[in-house]
Amino acid sequence: QVQLVESGGGSVQAGGSLRLSCVASGGHLRAYIIGWFRQAPGQEREGVAAIDSDWSITYADSVKDRFTISKEHLENTVTVYLQMNNLKPEDTAMYYCAGRSNQLGDLLMAYAYHDWGQGTQVTVSS
């Protein structure tokens, strides 16, 4: 069982930046796909960005050119970062890190992910 722990959320003004981190530990991480999702109150959970085990990357159109996902492998953990620049009020949401070891479906589809972190809040004020 893989554990996912997020950190780095907070409150910023529009135009500001934040960097989220997700540390994955346990299980077989070499073939693991990690994605970032977000959910605002009353909204469905949406995929933001994901990085595959072969390092290929997918972004939602709403965050392209503003967000950057990256990862680093250490001996027993994988850390995935989400650098968020030029933040907008509509980016306000709870952000979740999620992982999967299957190749089923689009990388930004939440249903395909079987491991989830506890979430970290991002609030952007205008």
Q: Is the pLDDT of residue 15 over 90?
A: yes
Q: Is the pLDDT of residue 77 over 90?
A: yes
What are residue 124's DSSP bridge partners? Answer: 12
CA atoms of 112 and 84, how far apart (whole Å) = 24
Residue 102 is predicted with a pLDDT of 83
Stronger pLDDT, 23 or 28, i.e. the higher one: 23
Contacts of residue 82, defined as CB under 8 A and 6 or more positions apart, other chains included, come to 19, 20, 21, 22, 36, 48, 49, 67, 68, 69, 95
Q: What 8-state DSSP symbol labels residue 41?
A: T
Residue 75 is predicted with a pLDDT of 85
Predicted confidence band of residue 103 (pLDDT cuts 50, 70, 90): confident
Stronger pLDDT, 74 or 95, i.e. the higher one: 95
What is the pLDDT averaged over residues 98-120? 92
Nearest to 96 by CA among 22, 32, 41: 22
78-90 pLDDT per residue, tens: 999 999 999 999 9
Q: Is the pLDDT of residue 27 over 90?
A: no
Q: Are 20 and 63 in contact (CB under 8 A)?
A: no
125 C-beta neighbours (distance < 10 Å), count: 11
